[in-house]
Amino acid sequence: MSFNPSDLIPILPELFLAVAGMVLLVIGALTGNHKTIFIGKAVLCSFVIAALILLGVDWNHQTVLNEMLVMDQFAGFLKLLVLIGLVASVALSLQYLEQIQTLRFEYPVLILFSGIGMMLMLSANDLLSLYVGLELQSLSLYVLAAIRRDHLRSAEAGMKYFILGAISSGMLLFGASILYGFTGTTNFEGIAASFEAGLTPGALIGMVFILAGLAFKISAVPFHMWTPDVYEGAPTSVTAFFALVPKLAALGLIARLVFEALPAAQDQWMQILWLLAAASMTLGAFAGLAQNNIKRLLAYSSIGNMGYALIGIVAGTQDGVGAMIFYMTIYMIMTAGTFGLVLCMRRDGKAAEKIDDLAGLSKNSPMLAYGLAILMFSMSGIPPMAGFFGKFLIFQAAVEAEMYILAVLGVLTSVVAAYYYLRLIKVMFFDEAADPFEDEISFSRRVVILVSVLFTLLFILKPSALVDISVNAASALFAG
């Protein structure tokens, strides 16, 4: 068997990032923490370069490393999104790390390694590569959650995340081994062929375990318990990163797994995901009502949003997956801006995390208040903001698949969730002003917020392009 280096071209972005990561790690180890900002910027540049390489790579279907990894339109577009999300996360982080005196050079490097993990997940074409990618990502995330190790809540968050994450990885691995035992292969196409030949109860049990493990990663109810605590405990910049990227990668992975490896078991996984979607939407909406901490609130918001995104997969159609990608793109951009604004909530050198701390923001810093208001209206799905179109496509996919119950449940829970999004607006605009926040906002954070708000506001002018790209990306899963 001959090995030709040019076969690796489809995963060139990952390879580049891996080399960059190792080089930066060595630089960091040699120079220490005072070079963190430099390393952060270097990581930022690496992501941009990786994105450029990705754009240069052929996105048509091809497999690498004995069909371990696959590159197609789906992987290509989602990887691009992941890279954009990573750029935003790092851009949001640096100033914050300085403010909380946690300038550790591992921080940007860990984000970079988790980024490689996510890109591998999106390319996974085998249960083994799936697991390797997932673990590379997860282990980086555990450490990131606990990066403020002298800080009790951060350490607690990291610990909690690690233990629960390890259990879910265990379940996933257990499911993978059952699936391997019953189908005799770990390759997605092989599994699909074996399922085609006949569904065995054992293989279905394996599938259920794998889906449960993955549901944990996207914090779908009932595997969501870690989310509020980790969101609250982790440093806000890490929370922003958690909210932006990993779930996108995990959702992409679920979509690829169910459509490429398990199409024959569609009736079965549809029921599972249906329930996950319904439960996530409901819990995300109702549990968010009682929150006073803005990070916890956003945690429940993300749980609910995962429910909406799952509807796209449950619909089981190309349009559905396209809607899911579209929804996640818009959600990611909105979330980037929202966390950018949350990171600006600082008073007397401390982060303000209570919703009431936003009181009267419209008087103290009107620009921030209007930005956040636009994003919150968008999150609640009110036209003409971008968030409306995300929900629109998702519900359309549900209606097309004749899942009326899910669609109605979705719109009703979105009304409930609108209550807590409105609450932020109410506090900012209707309440008496509290003390102003510190007004020092770094350039990179300004850019992220501005792009996010303008995208949300002006999306209505040219909505078609993103839908076309999303549906095109989804078509890769339905090609064969």
Partner 1 sequence: MIEFPVLSLLTFLPLIGALLILTIRGSEEIVARNSRWAALWVSGTTFFVSLYLLFQFDGTSAEFQFVETIDWFPALGLSYTMGIDGISLFFVLLSAFLTPICVLASWTAVKTRVKEYMIAFLILETFMIGTFCALDTILFYIFFEGVLIPMFLIIGIWGGKRRVYSAYKFFLYTLLGSVLMLVALLTLYVQTGTTSIPELMEDPVGRDLQIWLWLAFFASFAVKMPMWPVHTWLPDAHVEAPTAGSVILAGVLLKMGGYGFLRFSLPMFPEASEFFAPMVFWLSVVAIIYTSLVALVQEDMKKLIAYSSVAHMGYVTLGIFTATVQGIEGAIFQMISHGLISGALFLCVGVVYDRLHTREIARYGGLVKNMPKYATVFMIMVLGSVGLPGTSGFVGEFLTLLAAFQVDTIIAAFATTGIILGAAYMLMLYRKVVFGEQVNKDAAAMSDLNPREFWYFVPLVVLVLWLGVQPGMVMDKVAPSVDKLITQYESALPLHAEGTLAEEELEE
383 binds partner 1 (CB under 8 A): yes
**Least CB distance from residue 455 to partner 1, whole Å?**
16
Distance from C-alpha of 257 to C-alpha of 321, rounded to nearest angstrom: 13
Q: 418, 434, 447, 454: which one contacts partner 1 (CB under 8 A)?
A: 418
Phi, psi of 306 (to 5 degrees): -65, -35
Indicate whether 184 belongs to the interface with partner 1 (CB under 8 A): no
**Residue 459 Cβ, how far from partner 1 at the closest point, in Å?**
11
Q: Which of residues 422-441 bind partner 1 (CB under 8 A)?
A: 422, 425-426, 429-430
8 Å CB contact between 316 and 323: no
Quick one: 10 or 410, whose CB is closer to partner 1? Answer: 410
Which three-class secondary structure string do you get for 186-243? CEHHHHHHHHHHCCCHHHHHHHHHHHHHHHHHCCCCCCCCHHHHHHHHCCHHHHHHHH
Q: Maximum CA pair distance of the chain?
A: 73
- Complex with partner 1: residue 124 or 457, whichever CB lies closer: 457
Residue type, 168: S
Minimum distance from residue 151 beta carbon to partner 1 (Å): 36
Strand partners, 70: 63
Nearest approach, Cβ of residue 371 and partner 1 (Å): 14
What 264-270 contacts at long range (C-beta under 8 Å, 24+ apart), as own/partner pairs, is: 264/192, 264/195, 264/196, 264/199, 265/195, 265/199, 265/203, 265/204, 265/207, 266/316, 268/199, 268/204, 268/207, 269/207, 269/211, 270/314, 270/316
> Could you say whether residue 407 binds partner 1 (CB under 8 A)?
yes
Q: Closest CB to partner 1 among 30 and 461?
A: 461
Token pair for 173 = 């691995």
Q: What is the 3-state secondary structure (H, E, C) of 103-169?
A: CCCHHHHHHHHHHHHHHHHHHECEHHHHHHHHHHHHHHHHHHHCCCCCCHHHHHHHHHHHHHHHHHH
DSSP annotation of 63 reads E
**Pairing, β 346-347 against β 350-351:** antiparallel
Cα distance between the two ends of the chain: 27
- Stretch 459-478 residues interacting with partner 1 (CB under 8 A): 460, 463-464, 467-468, 471
Residues in contact with partner 1, shown as a per-residue x/- string from 363 to 382 under the rule CB under 8 A: --------------x--x-x
Residues touching partner 1, count (CB under 8 A): 32
Using the minimum distance from each CB to partner 1, give the nearer residue, 45 or 415.
415
User: What's the min distance (Å) between Cβ of 269 and partner 1?
Assistant: 23
Q: Does 419 bind partner 1 (CB under 8 A)?
A: yes
- Please report whether residue 408 would count as binding partner 1 according to CB under 8 A: yes
Asked if residue 412 binds partner 1 (CB under 8 A), the reply is: yes
- 396 contacts partner 1 (rule: CB under 8 A): yes
Nearest distance in Å: CB 408, partner 1: 6
- Output the smallest distance, CB 289 to partner 1, in A: 12
CB of 95 to partner 1, least distance (A): 28
Closer to partner 1 at the Cβ: 260 or 319?
Answer: 319
Stretch that binds partner 1, among 41-49, 271-279, 295-303, 404-412 (CB under 8 A): 404-412
Strand-strand pairing, 69-71 and 346-347? unpaired
Task: Enumerate binding residues for partner 1 (CB under 8 A).
Answer: 377, 380, 382-384, 388, 392-393, 395-396, 399-400, 404, 407-408, 411-412, 414-415, 418-419, 422, 425-426, 429-430, 460, 463-464, 467-468, 471
